[in-house]
Structure 1
Amino acid sequence: MKQCLFLFFLNLSGFGFAQQTEFVDFKIVEVSLNIKPEKQEVEGSVQYTFKVLKSVDSIFIDAQNMTFKTVLMLGNQTISYSNDGKKLWLKHPFKKDSSYNISFNYKAQPKKALYFINWEHHAGNKQIWTQGQGKYTSNWLPSIDDMNDKIEFDLTITFDKDYEVIANGRITNQKTNDSTTTWHYNMQNPMSSYLVAFSIGKYHKKIAYSKSGIPLEMYYYPQDSLKIEPTYRHTKQMFDFLEEEIGVPYPWQNYKQVPVKDFLYAGMENTSTTIFSDAFVVDSIAFVDKNYVNVNAHELAHQWFGNLVTETSGMHHWLQEGFATYYALLAEQEVFGDDYYYWKLYEYAQELLEQDKQRGSTSLLDPKSSSTTFYKKGAWVLHKLREKVGDKVFKMAVKNYLLKHRFKNVETHDFIFEVEQASGQDLTDFVKSWLEDETFLYEECMYSLKKHSEDFRIMHKLDKALKDNSYPSNSLINDYFEKEVSSKVKTYLLSKIDLSKVQDSVLKKAFHLKDLKVRQAIAKNLTKIPLELKETYESLLNDKSYITIEVALYNLWFIFPESRVTYLNKTKNIIGFNNKNIRILWLTLALITPDFERENKQAYFNELRDYTYSNYGFETRQNAFQYLNFIQACDQVCKENLQQATKHHNWQFSKFAKELLKKE
């Protein structure tokens, strides 16, 4: 009998994972969740409302490693079901054009897609957050993994009243009972299940309003109140710009942004609720070198390109990532100016050229393409297409494309059709050259940059002079640093010249420009510091840049051993980025400088080793592991923490730990 049932359900699955949308249209799912962090467990009740498009004897809901209780239809009619560990199969004679409500209770202990952070520690910043894209929401919520089935998800979550619960949509009700609070969130429109999200933690929030009246909720840790402005700098300006530039109103009720510890990526564009790495929570000094602006704009652009209209398959992934990358650049152009925009395109072109040289280039329509292709080449395609058809036509086509396909799924031809309609042009050749062909058209990109930006016309002359050796380095720096050229051109020149061959007097002129990025370029590229430049170079320790200070501290400590104590005293209280880049370097140098504070060596070692524990972010831990390994001081506790890190949910950190452990 069991074998017959197995074959029956196997046959039912023959209509396929991606084809269920032909038989049934899931409309709304109402979810009530009870999260139990001490067990890393989710208990929930779910009610699905759906319409049957073709009569069918069975439907499925994706559910990874869950247990279920009785499945009921509206009216408390019990129906047969089967749970194979990956899908919940519901057996019933579902009739065409009929609507159904089905409800059930479930329990799950997800291994991925839902992450419990710091709950093993008594203290610390305890969090719970989700990541659906690439991990599948069906690990913690019975849902439809097929992104072609768009559903309205309404979440109700009960949790400890001392925490904030943030989820997709708008809060319609919030009720506290004794020790818990129940949060009711409502979505008005459908989305793909990989965009369902929530985050739980101890947060405060700041609210601003867009020009169109959309609430912009910016969450932060209570201890980070002084970092709100630099972290979320330009948020409202970019939101207002993108609404106007795209030409389609923001499609959701509000926009929330939530930082979390040890996130898998820079950010994730969950519908109305972006979750991002708290590594981007910065002060004004960190903002210079590492800020949230690009990630902020990128995830915001996805609210239209990816969430409002969603790819049908990986073949059309550039419609999400290429568009988000391009529109993020436009938003940054609005904030930082034209030079920034063109230099970012230049950086993208260099990455794509290098990929080409390594024979890693693929068609933009290849679902196995790299992120570099989907993001960077996708952005270049849109830049070139806009250049080809003109601003007015391009904006009209984008608007028509979004409005025509809103809350639906799209393919590349849907977008190209709208551009052809608006422009009256046949884009067959363009599509072949830029989307279908594997080779990256680097020279065409460089021509475009030179056409639009004086910087790249100057760079062309510089490259020629450097290649021909027709211009002495001293003269190049003298000439170009006295001209009205951008900071980017100056830093580019410094990166191309052997600074050890440049006269001290010439380098002093460059130092005295007071340009943070120019001074940083000197710090990075001047590896041999002449005694005559020592005092000037030491001034880098006062710069408002954590990267510059880190580089300068190490170089000065290494080259001038007689002044090491002075440098350590001067930088003793500087922490740096959230990954404590300067503090961890400082501790390492303090430990290996024999005549520096011998009485504090053990305390400094303990602090450095403490940064390897899991209550710190993985970037901090990685820095600490690297330096301890470098000075051969990774003791038993350090090694135990390194072993624990091999099981971390962030695969890059886990890989790092495994590789470092092999060297021990």
Structure 2
Amino acid sequence: DRKECCLEPTYRYSVELIEKLEAELEVPFPWEKYAQVPVADYLYGAMENTTATVFGDFFHVDNRAYLDRNYVEVNAHELVHQWFGDYVTARSFAHVWLQESFATHYARFLIGQLWGPDYYHWGRRTEHTLALAASQKDNLPIVHPNPGYARIYQKGSAVLDMMRYTFGNETFRRVITHYLRKHAYDVVETNDLYQAFQDAAGLSPAEFFEQWLYRGGEPHYRVRYQPIEKGGKAFTQVIVEQIQDTAIGLFRMPITLAVHYRGGGYDTVRALIRERREVVEVPNPNKKPIAFVLFDPGGWILKQVTFDKSVEELLAQLEGAPALLDRYDALLALRKVPLSAKREALLAAYQREKFWGLRAEIAAQLAADPANQAFIRQALRDPHPQVRFAVLANLNPLPASLLPDLEALLQDSSYVVEALALERLSEAFPRRVPQYLKKTADDLGVGHSVRIKHLEIAALHGDRAAVDKLVDYASVSFEFRTRQNALRALKALNLLPPNLLPHLFDALLSPNARLATVARECVDYWMQQTRFRQTLQNYYQQRSWSPAEKAVLAPLFEYKAPTFYQRSS
């Protein structure tokens, strides 16, 4: 029974999440009960209400689907809102970060508690990437009536990490516990958190709050270094410049600089970087040769960094940096380096690294070397599906000599890997498509992903019944993720059967923006083709629509001839 097999994977760790959060906050769960309510076609991932969380039933997964996408982190995020959002509530939307940033931050904290610190730090990097991307559009602050999603969630979460880093973890915990207890069942604004620092820790973090919460933008540091001697003593001189736009202003942050030496060992200095240009000298008492230098080891500060390093330095950093994110940064920089200069180092790193994210990046780079089939075979059997996916996605072309290893992925524990394997193998070895379709005929996948890929490939090879089934999957009989996948498959096939039209227009008018967006992408694509444009316009014109429906559909289907103006002489 599917419902029974989904119960444990869906709600896995629910009890542990509550217990670990109570221990961290030192504030008991503030309500008498807590319920979880899965609903069909939910517009969002989930939404907490006092004592109950509503979530999309697409998170109702079995053990296999759990590997690809599970409810654990969303569950944690919504649980945190029982404290930050319900127990203590933001006074206005300008201070909503006090709810969403905290829920994002503590959800990641809980994931780290469950699965290990590498997951915690990997989540930090994801948040930094999203927050910095938002600043490419504007530099609004976090405390603002409309700061944008990435500031309310990811940047605010990163700011809480920086509070831990700047003021100390135990101080941060003491402040948050005081803040919760003082404002229990009440409304708050950002200044209440500031006062909690004063009350619980004797600190006045005015500068920190001003630059990270009330001011927008992030620092961009340019870093370089050189070994020097002064008075017979050796130092590593590190020059740090803040090169962000002057309109953003300068940041004043304590930042660690670490100098690692060949043969092992390192020296560090924690310096206050506050001016446009700073020079920091790190003592090198034993006059050791430098292997590599780290600016902000572990990547705690939300920032951009320009720090040019040689291939030799990057390889040393990959091998010797203690923090996962510093080794990952070395891998990212090595993307531009020819395989011949990094192959052996990447092979060794793959064997060392325990965290899947680094192994996936290594596998993606080494998959460009199809001659190294021993490694590719090993990576295709990696215990983590993301690593197997990375190899399969970047291996081009698929070598016939690896066919048994590749075809084994058609029965992979991950639906996502299975679907990609079916697609890539069918493209590379079209004569074997009947075998591939037979092997995957009974698998569905999350959002029927495997089944829809199966039907797409069957339709591509002339199976008309497969097209009809894809149309059925695009109908209101199925939840929105299945409908999205079916519409994308029909778009990829460039097929617009007449029996799809009612389902397509229903999707266009759906209150679920994610479904409506995919439907619109399909319409935009088909409207560019003469043979489909008339079909879509006729369907639109031959039916009656309410004013609200017409407001959505008219811009898509009402053709307006261009107006030509003749310039008077």
Alignment map for 1:308-347 (pairs within 5 Å): 308-347=87-126
Aligned to 2:142, the other structure's residue is in SS state coil
Does structure 1 residue 652 correspond to structure 2 residue 514? yes
> C-alpha displacement at 1:397, in angstroms?
1.3
| Native 8 Å contact 1:557 1:563 kept in 2 | yes
Classify 1:516/1:609 alpha carbon distance in 2 versus 1 (closer, same or farther; 3 Å): same
Say if 1:481 and 1:510, in contact at 8 Å, map to a contact too: no
Secondary structure in 2 aligned to 1:252? Answer: coil
Distance 1:376 1:608 in 2: 37
Q: CA deviation at 1:589?
A: 0.8
| CA–CA separation in structure 2 for the residues paired with 1:324 and 1:226 | 29
Q: Which residue of 2 aligns with 1:230?
A: 9
Separation (CA, whole Å) in 1 of partners of 2:438 and 2:150: 43
Alignment of 1:574 with 2:443, yes or no, is: yes
Asked whether 1:416 is paired with 2:194, we answer: yes
Could you say if the C-alpha distance between residues 421 and 336 of structure 1 is closer, same or farther in structure 2, counting changes exceeding 3 Å?
Answer: same
- Quick one: distance in 1 between partners of 2:297 and 2:197? 20
Structure (1/2) with the larger helix percentage: 2
Within a 5 Å distance, the mapping from 1:330-409 to structure 2 comes to 330-356=109-135, 358-409=136-187
* 1:638 matches 2:417: no
Measure, in 1, the Cα distance between the counterparts of 2:146 and 2:396. Answer: 41
Q: Structure 1's 632 and 461: CA in aligned 2 closer, same or farther, altered over 3 A?
A: closer
Equivalent positions of 1:7-86 (< 5 A) are none
Identity of aligned residues (%): 31
Q: Is the 8 A contact 2:490 2:496 kept in 1?
A: yes
Q: Distance in 1 between matches of 2:522 and 2:187?
A: 44
**Residue 188 (structure 1) aligns with:** none
Native 8 Å contact 1:465 1:471 kept in 2: no
Is the Cα contact below 8 Å between 2:422 and 2:436 reproduced in 1? yes
Moved more, 243-252 or 332-341: 243-252
Distance apart, 1:223 and its partner CA? 5.0
Deviation at 1:457, TM superposition (A): 3.0
Aligned residue in 1 for 2:481? 619
Query: Which deviates more, 481-490 or 642-651?
Result: 481-490
Does residue 277 in structure 1 map to residue 63 in structure 2?
Answer: no
- Measured in 2, the distance between the counterparts of 1:510 and 1:475 equals 15
Pairing 1:527-566 to 2, within 5 Å after superposition:
527-566=396-435
Residue 588 in structure 1 maps to residue 456 in structure 2: yes
SS at match of 1:626: helix
User: What amino acid sits opposite 2:508 in the alignment?
Assistant: T
What is the CA distance between 1:547 and its match in structure 2? 0.8
Report if aligned partners of 1:346, 1:449 keep a CA contact under 8 Å in 2: no
Partner of 1:201: none
State the SS of the aligned residue for 2:443. Answer: coil
Query: Could you list the runs of 5+ residues in structure 2 that have no partner in the other structure?
Result: 222-254, 257-294, 301-320, 527-569
Shift of 1:463: 4.2
Does the CA-based 8 Å contact 1:473-1:502 persist in structure 2?
no
C-alpha distance in 2, partners of 1:228/1:613?
27
SS of match in other structure, 2:437: helix
Q: Structure 1's 552 and 273: CA in aligned 2 closer, same or farther, altered over 3 A?
A: same
Q: Is the 8 A contact 2:367 2:391 kept in 1?
A: no
Say whether the 8 Å CA contact 2:370–2:399 is kept in structure 1.
no
- Cα distance in structure 1, aligned partners of 2:327 and 2:2: 46
Distance 1:428-1:470 versus aligned 2 partners, 3 A rule: farther
Give, as a single letter, the amino acid of the residue that structure 2 aligns with 1:618: F
| Distance change (3 Å), C-alpha of 1:273 and 1:612 | same
Letter in 1 for 2:58: A
Report the more deviating stretch, 439-448 or 506-515. 439-448
Alignment deviations for residues 86-131 of structure 1 (CA, whole Å, 9 cap, x no partner): xxxxxxxxxxxxxxxxxxxxxxxxxxxxxxxxxxxxxxxxxxxxxx
Determine the structure 1 residue equivalent to 2:368: 499
The alpha-carbon deviation at position 464 of structure 1 amounts to 4.8
Correspondence for 1:429: 207
| Contact persistence 1:298–1:328 (CA under 8 A) | yes
Contact 2:10 2:70 in 1 (8 A): yes
Matched with 2:323 is 454
Distance 1:630 1:604 in 2: 14
Give the 3 Å change call, closer, same or farther, for CA 441–341 of structure 1 in structure 2.
farther
Does the aligned pair in 1 maintain the 2:350–2:359 contact within 8 Å?
yes
Instruction: State the partner residue of 2:548.
Output: none
Q: 2:33 aligns with which of 240, 251, 254?
A: 254
Q: In the alignment, is the contact (CA less than 8 A) between 1:353 and 1:442 conserved in 2?
A: no
Report which stretch shifted further, 513-522 or 313-322: 513-522
Aligned partners of 2:516 and 2:339: how far apart in 1? 50
**When the two structures are superposed, what TM-score results if normalisation uses the length of structure 1?**
0.62
1:626 to 1:450, Cα distance in 2 relative to 1, 3 A:
closer
- Note the residue ranges of structure 1 that are not aligned, 5 or more in a row: 1-221, 595-600
Distance 1:361 1:568, change over 3 A: farther
CA separation of 1:306 and 1:453: change in aligned 2, threshold 3 A: farther
Q: Which has the higher strand share?
A: 1
Do 2:174 and 2:201's aligned partners in 1 also have CA atoms closer than 8 Å? no
User: Is 2:197–2:204's contact at 8 Å kept on the other side of the alignment?
Assistant: no
Cα 1:646–1:462 change in 2 (3 A) is: closer
Shift, 1:327, TM fit = 0.7
Compared CA separation, residues 513 and 588, structure 1 to 2 (3 A): closer
For the residues of structure 2 that align with 1:279 and 1:639, how far apart are their CA atoms?
25
Aligned counterparts of 1:658 and 1:481: Cα–Cα separation in 2: 42
Gap change, CA 1:359 and 1:556, over 3 Å in 2: same
C-alpha change, 1:489 and 1:568, in structure 2 (3 Å) is same
AA aligned opposite 1:489: L
State the TM-score, normalizing by the size of structure 2. 0.72
User: Within 1, Cα distance between the matches of 2:339 and 2:434?
Assistant: 44
1:394, CA displacement in angstroms? 1.5
1:362 and 1:495 map into 2 onto residues whose CA distance is 36
Report how far residue 423 of structure 1 moved: 2.2
Determine the C-alpha separation between the residues in 1 that align with 2:185 and 2:518. Answer: 40
1:383-416 per-residue CA deviation (whole Å, 9 max, x = no partner) reads 1101222222222211111121122111001012
Q: 1:517: how far off?
A: 2.6
Between the aligned partners of 1:291 and 1:339, the Cα distance in structure 2 is 18
Distance 2:34 2:91 in 1: 25
CA apart distance, 1:479: 1.6
| Cα distance, 1:332 vs structure 2 | 0.8
- 8 Å CA contact 1:318–1:374 kept in 2: the answer is yes
Q: 1:267 aligns with which of 34, 37, 46?
A: 46
